[in-house]
Amino acid sequence: MTVGRTRVDPHVKVLDERVVERARESGIDTLVYAPHFVRLPEIRERAARFSTDEVTVVPAREVFTGDWGNRRHLLAIGLSEPVPDFVTFEAALAEFDRQDAAVLVPHPEFMNVSLTRAEVGAYRDRVDAVETYNAKLFDRQNDRGVRIAEAFDLPAFGSSYAHLRGTVGAAWTEFEGDVRGEDALVEAFKRRTPRSVVKRTDPATRLRRLVEFAHLGIENSYGKLDRLFLSGMEQTHPRHIAYDGRFDDVAVY
């Protein structure tokens, strides 16, 4: 931790010893681990397993609300109970409110997976920050996030959004004070603790960002859609037995 400040990467999808070591080498104090389609207990277990004295791993969930064609992603930090994917937007927000989680808007207006400018404005009192820099995206896409955050006077955050190990360290959010640990980070987001968004612009980082963007096509292939959703067997499906029927009435599939 730099004197009086904490470097946080608020959104990574990969986690192992190499990821944590890369974060340490980049001076990052906290990684927020929020993999797709993994239930909260497993995320918590992995976060605890890979946390070190130098790098704290905080568990989180990027929840896919709505159906596949009209989904809106929300990043929730500080959940005490699991929340499935593919429930209605309002149902997800209600759960986050009930659990007093910090609610972040990742990659706004990106494709059909993000909140639009109008939606951010409509829900501005229920979200705690908007992503203004995502290392996976191009500058023009990140510029939209900056304009949205400024238009609605919402705090910013930046992340590597790393789906590949090499992208860790490409960007982070630097908070004033010591906000290491899940509770401190939730509090920092909810209380709008001053922060700055930091990004690397060297040639190697730019190349890694391009590789990340190329990875997006593979990640969103139809084959994955069929495997994860149409079968109804994914562990974060709202009708999975693990949720004991609590979300049946708000499930979109």
Q: Domains of the chain, with CATH numbers? A: 5-244 (3.20.20.140)
> Of 253, 227, 176, which is closest to residue 37 (Cα–Cα)?
227
Share the mean pLDDT of the chain.
Answer: 92
Task: Convert the pLDDT of each residue in 204-214 to its tens digit.
Answer: 888 777 777 77
Q: What proportion of the chain, given as a percentage, has pLDDT over 70?
A: 91
Question: What is the per-residue pLDDT for 50?
Answer: 98
Question: What is the per-residue pLDDT for 29?
Answer: 98
Q: The whole model's pTM is what?
A: 0.92
Question: What is the per-residue pLDDT for 205?
Answer: 80
Question: What is the per-residue pLDDT for 209?
Answer: 74
Question: What is the per-residue pLDDT for 222?
Answer: 42
AA identity, residue 198: V
Q: What is the mean pLDDT of residues 43-70?
A: 96
Query: DSSP E strands: which ranges in 25-150?
Result: 30-33, 56-65, 72-77, 102-105, 129-134
176 to each of 193, 194, 246, how far by Cα in Å? Answer: 7, 6, 39
Task: Convert the pLDDT of each residue in 89-126 to its tens digit.
Answer: 999 999 999 999 999 999 999 988 899 999 999 999 99
AA identity, residue 153: D
Question: What is the per-residue pLDDT for 112?
Answer: 84
Euclidean distance between CA atoms 167 and 39, whole angstroms = 24
Task: Convert the pLDDT of each residue in 173-191 to its tens digit.
Answer: 999 999 999 999 999 999 9
Task: Convert the pLDDT of each residue in 215-236 to its tens digit.
Answer: 665 555 444 555 455 555 579 9
Burial of 213 (0-12, 13-18, 19+ CB in 10 A): middle
Question: What is the per-residue pLDDT for 171?
Answer: 97
Question: What is the per-residue pLDDT for 69?
Answer: 83
Q: What is the mean pLDDT of residues 153-182?
A: 97
Q: What is the mean pLDDT of residues 160-184?
A: 96
Choice between 208 and 196, residue whose per-residue pLDDT is larger:
196
